[in-house]
Amino acid sequence: MSEARIEKRSPAYQDLRRQALYLTVEAGSQVALRFLDASERAFTTFAKMPGMGRLRRFPHAEVGELRSWAIPGFERYLIFYRALPDGIEVIRVLHGMRDLDRIIGEQGDDDAPT
């Protein structure tokens, strides 16, 4: 059996970087590294079982349906992803208290996965 694919859009990479920098300043580099590790473990889990996350519909037709799940150990941070036939596409990684409809709505389909 082949390994499940994980594609990350560039905004997801930027989100992870921003969150890690914030956590480094607020709580220390060990916490930031735990956050990044927990994120990657979650991506791997979702890629194997993409139906796990909560199905969410956003008002912007171009975004469509996404799934979300809290990062274990960092439950205030949510991973937004799409199921692919052979894995997942990570769209964003955002703090749950942000204006998710606005931020996800700004997500353009022109930004290529990395």
> pLDDT digit string (tens) for 29-85?
999 999 999 999 999 999 999 888 888 776 654 556 788 999 999 999 999 999 899
Count the neighbouring beta carbons within 10 Å of the beta carbon of residue 18.
13
- Whole-model pTM over 0.85: no
Residue ranges per structural domain of the chain: 5-105
Label residue 113 by pLDDT band (50, 70, 90): very low
Give the residue from 60, 31, 2 showing the smallest Cα distance to 80: 60
DSSP-assigned letter for residue 24: H
Q: What CATH fold (topology level) applies to the domain 5-105?
A: YaeB-like fold (3.30.2310)
The alpha carbons of the chain give a radius of gyration, in whole angstroms, of: 14
In 43-86, which ranges are E strands? 54-57, 65-71, 74-84
> pLDDT digit string (tens) for 78-109?
999 998 999 999 999 998 767 666 767 665 44
